[in-house]
Structure 1
Amino acid sequence: MRDKNLASSTIRGTRAALNLFFKFALDRDYIKSIPTIPVPSLKKNPRPEFNKDEWNKLTTFLRKWVEEPCKGERGLNGYDKKRHRERFYLQHYVLIMGNTGIRVGEMRNVRWVDLDKVEVNGGEQRLLFSVDGKTGKRDVIANAGTERYIRRIYEYRRDELGKTDDDFDRTEFIFCHPDGKRIGTYRGSFETLLKDTKLRKDKNGNNRTLYSLRHTYATMRINEVPIYQLAINMGTSVEMIEDYYSHAKVRDKEFASSMTKGNQKGSAKALPF
C-alpha cells in the first residue's frame, strides 16, 4: 500500500472512530482493554482567502458572468433560463458567504424563516441569520449591504413560483433548486468559477475552496472589529481567530503605522516593486 501523508485532523478523526469501536469491543468482552492511540498535534493549516483586490476581481467578474446566458452563449440566440438561475444563485451565495463568515454546512440548512433583523446605532438595521452547525445554534450578524443580496434572491424565487409576499413559503431553504429541494453543494461550480477568473490558487499554490469565503470574511473583519466579537459571530474561539487570521493584522495599515512609530521615515519610491 502506498504511503500517504494524512492531515493531522484526519488522523485525529480516525482515532476517535477507532476508540468508539474499541469501546464497543470492550463492552462485549471481545478485548480486555482499549489500546492507547497517540494523539497527533493539530497542525495549523489555514485555508487561503481572497485579498481585497482578488475579491473585487471575483465579484466584478460575477456581475458579467451571470448575464451571459441572457445574451446567448456560443453564438446562440435566446435566454438560457436554467444556466442563468444557477449562476445567479451562485453569485449571491458567494456574496452572502463572504459577508457573513457562515460555514458551508451551516448555510446549507438556512431557511427564510431563519432570517431576522437587528437595529444598530443610528437606527439602521442589519440582517441576522440563525444557523445551526458545528458549534451548535447561534445568530450571525451580516455585513451592511447583505440585505440587498437576500432581497434579490427572495424576489427571484417569489417570482419564479408566481407567489405574493403573503403566500410565500418561508420554511423553504434559501439556496434551493426550482423544485424547492436544498442545494447540496456549490463546490464544482465554484471551482469552475475560480478557474475562469484565474483565482483557483493563491500565491503559494494552495487551492481555494468554498471555505475560502469564510476565511476572506475573517481576514477582512479582523482589522475592523474586536477579536472577541468576531469569534462570537463566527462561532469559534478567540484562540482560533488569533492562530489563523492574525497574519491579516500585520498587513493592516493602522497596525503597520502603530508598529513603526518613532522609526525614521521611509519612502515607497525606494521599493523595487
Structure 2
Amino acid sequence: MAFYENRREHYGGALVLFQRNLAVAVPNAQTHRQPTWYMRLKIGGRKGYITRSTKLTVYEDAYEYAKSELLRLQQAARLGHSLDEYTFEKHWHDWYERNLRNGTWADERARWHKMYFNRYFKDYFSNSDSSSMLLNDITSQYAAGYWDWRKSYWSTESAARLQSYNPKRRGAKTRGTANAKKLPALKTLQMEQSALNQIFYDAMEQGRMQQIVKMRVAAKGQTPSRRAGFDTGSEYLVLVRNLRSYRDCVGRFASEGLNAWHKLHRAQLSHFIMFLLHSGLRVGEARQMRWSDVKLDEEVDGEDERIAEVRVSKATKKGQARFVQTQPGANKALKEWQKISPHTEKNDWVWFGQQHDADGKATQIGDLNKSFQQYLRAIDFEGRQDGLLYDRDGDRRSLYSLRHTYATMRLERGDVSVYDLSINMGCKVKQIETHYSHVVSKQRRQQITRTNRKKKSSATEGAVLQDDTFLAEAMRRYKAGELSDDAFFAIAKSSNAAG
C-alpha cells in the first residue's frame, strides 16, 4: 500500500497536498482518526522540499492554509529569512548557548536568564498542550498580554501550590518558594522586558521571525520600589551587636553540632555583613573580589582612620571596572577576616565557598542570603516572631538591604553629595534621588527651610552704626572712670534694645 494517498498537485508541483496511509505509517495502531492533510512545498532557490502537516482534515481548508504558507515562505526566502519553523523554546536555547560561548554575561546574569526562562517565559509562550509556540505564531497582541499574566502569576492556584511545596527542593531544609513577591517590582519587570526584547530581536536577525515584537511594560500606576533596609537607629545597633555572638557561637546562637567549616562560615558571614554595611557594594560585586583587588589602610587627608579601596571587577553587573572607597568599618572587617581566613593569596577569593577546584583552590562563595535571613530570624528584637527578617512594612530583608542601609547612613550624616555617592555606588544620580528622596530631604533641611531676611534700609543701617559709635564712646569713658557703673549699663541696655 502506498505511503502517500490522495495526492493532489498545484502550481506545477510547487504545492502538493496528500494524506498518509495510517495503516502503513502507524501499522501497530488499533484505531485511526480521520487522516490529516500534509503539504509539500517547493521554494525557489532552496534545495529539497518543505513537508509539514496542515493539521487539518478537510481538503478545502488544508488547501487554503497550504497556499498561504507557500506565499509566506516564498516572501521569507526573498527577504533572506529562515524557512525552518522555530519554536520560542528552540530559539531561546540557541540564543542562550551563543551568548554563553561569546562570554556575553557574568555567571550570575546567565543564571538569571535561565531561571526566568524556566519559570516565566517558557510557561507563557506555550500552547494549550504545553508545547512551545512557533515564533511566527507570537503576535504583538499576544506578547503584550505577558505583563498582566506575569503580575498575577503568584496569585494563581498553581503558583500557590508551588510556593508551599517545590518538587525541585526535595530533601532540602526548606521546600517552599516563599521569597517571591506576589506583585513584581517595576525594576524586575523592566529586566524581563529587556531580556524578551533581546530574544525577539535576535530571532528577527536570524530570520526566524517575520513580524516585529517589541515588549514594553507600562510604568503607569507603579512606583519605583527600594528594598527593605535597616533603621539606622535601634535596628542597626541590634543587627551589629548580635554579630559577635553569631560569630563566636555563644548565647542564643550557641550550637554543639557545628563543625569547623560551619564555624568558619559564620565568621565569614559576620565579616561579610560588616563589609557590605560600610562599603555599599552590590552582593554580586563583593562575591567577585580577590585579595589583589583590595588595598587596606589607605590614608585620607584630614582623617585619622584608614579606609580600604576596592577594585570592582568589570565582570559584574555594570560591565566596567571602578574603584570604591569604603568606610573605615569595611577596612576593619577586611583586616580581621584576613587574619583568620585560610585563603589570603593575591589571586584567592576574598569570600569563598566550601568546594575546591582542580588546583585545590577554594571556589567562589555561593548564595549567602539563606544564612543571612536565618541569622535575622534568630535575633531577639521587640518580641517580633521573625526578629529582624521583616521591616515595619512587612517587606522581607536580604543581603541587598545592607547596600540600602549604607546609602541611607551616608546621606543622613550629610558628609557626602548625591553625585559622589552615586559614583562610589556605581549607579545613577537619578536612582539615588528617586530611592532616597526622603533622606535627601532631611539632608537639605537647612537649605529647604531657610528664609530670606529682609534687607535693612540705609537709614536703619545708619542708626545702627550711630548706636555702635555711641556705645564705643561710652565704653571708653567708662574705662576712663568718667561714667559710673549704673550709667554705663543703662546706656548699653538702651543700645541693645534699639538694635
Band the TM-score falls in, shorter-chain normalisation: 0.7 to 0.9
**Quick one: distance in 1 between partners of 2:353 and 2:282?**
20
Task: Pick which of 34-43 and 206-215 moved more.
Answer: 34-43
**Quick one: distance in 2 between partners of 1:214 and 1:188?**
17
**Quick one: distance in 2 between partners of 1:45 and 1:70?**
36
Give the aligned partner of residue 98 of structure 1. 277
Give the aligned partner of residue 187 of structure 1. 369
Match of 1:216 among 389, 400, 405: 405
Whether 1:63 and 2:63 are equivalent positions in the alignment is no
Give yes or no for contact 2:187–2:224 (8 Å, CA) kept in 1.
Answer: no
**Quick one: distance in 2 between partners of 1:26 and 1:176?**
42
Give the aligned partner of residue 45 of structure 2. none
Q: Write the mapping of 1:1-273 to structure 2, written as runs, cut at 5 A.
A: 3-4=152-153, 5-41=183-219, 43-52=223-232, 53-68=234-249, 73=254, 76=256, 80-117=259-296, 118-122=298-302, 124=304, 125-132=306-313, 133-135=316-318, 136-157=320-341, 160=342, 169-177=345-353, 179=356, 180-197=362-379, 198-222=387-411, 223-251=414-442, 255-256=444-445, 259=448
**Quick one: distance in 2 between partners of 1:237 and 1:10?**
17
Matched position secondary structure for 2:405 = helix
**Quick one: distance in 1 between partners of 2:277 and 2:446?**
27
**Quick one: distance in 1 between partners of 2:321 and 2:347?**
17
Q: Given residue 437 of structure 2, which amino acid in structure 1 is its aligned partner?
A: S
**Quick one: distance in 1 between partners of 2:433 and 2:278?**
20
Matched position secondary structure for 1:26 = helix
Q: Given residue 440 of structure 2, which amino acid in structure 1 is its aligned partner?
A: K
Distance 1:190 1:22, change over 3 A: same
Q: Which runs of 5+ in 2 are unaligned?
A: 1-123, 125-148, 154-182, 357-361, 380-386, 452-499
Give yes or no for contact 1:69–1:80 (8 Å, CA) kept in 2.
Answer: no
**Quick one: distance in 2 between partners of 1:169 and 1:112?**
7
Matched position secondary structure for 1:150 = helix
**Quick one: distance in 1 between partners of 2:400 and 2:282?**
7
**Quick one: distance in 2 between partners of 1:123 and 1:56?**
24
Matched position secondary structure for 1:145 = helix
Distance 1:51 1:154, change over 3 A: same
**Quick one: distance in 2 between partners of 1:49 and 1:241?**
14
Task: Pick which of 234-243 and 46-55 moved more.
Answer: 46-55
Give yes or no for contact 2:245–2:251 (8 Å, CA) kept in 1.
Answer: no
Give the aligned partner of residue 86 of structure 2. none
CA distances 1:124-155 after superposition (whole Å, capped 9, x unpaired)? 54210001222221100010232221111111
Shift of 1:248: 2.0
Matched position secondary structure for 1:121 = coil
Q: Could you state the TM-score of these two structures normalised by the residue count of structure 2?
A: 0.46
**Quick one: distance in 1 between partners of 2:279 and 2:333?**
12
Matched position secondary structure for 1:207 = coil
Q: Which runs of 5+ in 1 are unaligned?
A: 162-167, 263-273
Distance 1:146 1:15, change over 3 A: closer
**Quick one: distance in 1 between partners of 2:211 and 2:252?**
68
Give yes or no for contact 1:94–1:213 (8 Å, CA) kept in 2.
Answer: yes
Shift of 1:70: 10
Distance 1:23 1:257, change over 3 A: closer
Q: Percent identity?
A: 28
Give yes or no for contact 1:70–1:84 (8 Å, CA) kept in 2.
Answer: no
Give yes or no for contact 2:293–2:310 (8 Å, CA) kept in 1.
Answer: yes
Matched position secondary structure for 2:364 = coil
**Quick one: distance in 1 between partners of 2:253 and 2:445?**
49
Distance 1:189 1:28, change over 3 A: closer
Give yes or no for contact 1:131–1:137 (8 Å, CA) kept in 2.
Answer: yes
Give yes or no for contact 1:72–1:80 (8 Å, CA) kept in 2.
Answer: no
Task: Pick which of 131-140 and 20-29 moved more.
Answer: 20-29
CA RMSD of aligned residues (A): 2.8
